[in-house]
Amino acid sequence: MTKMTVIGFESMEGVGKESGKAYAIGRLHTAIPLAPPMKDQIAKGEVGTTYDCDSNLVKKIAHLPLPVVVEVDLQDQMKFGKRQQVVIDLRPVDVIKKAA
């Protein structure tokens, strides 16, 4: 499992207008550390990125305050001809306390 800091999330469920098929899409917005800088370069902090997941996974953390650290299982999937990592499971680990 990989740890991630979730800073936001979305859950969308419904029925497609054209297809009439049900959908349930979740999206996790995370902050990941920047890679260590190479010689004579500067890199510090985090950058935001997004991972798709099942909307039921979002429901597992929807009640928690953000940001929250989660452990995730990732899986590569092909979407529209491109490889994409998606979250297939998650487990909350720690809620980050905001400075007073």
Domain extents in the chain: 2-95
Neighbour-count burial for 50-63, b at 16+ CB within 10 Å, e otherwise = ebbbbbebbebbee
Second-level CATH architecture of 2-95: Beta Barrel (2.40)
Interval 73-94 mean pLDDT: 93
Tens digit of pLDDT for each residue in 16-67? 999 999 989 999 999 988 888 888 888 888 999 999 999 999 999 999 999 9
Interval 77-88 mean pLDDT: 92
Tens digit of pLDDT for each residue in 53-80? 999 999 999 999 999 999 999 999 998 8
Cα 73 from chain centroid (whole Å): 11
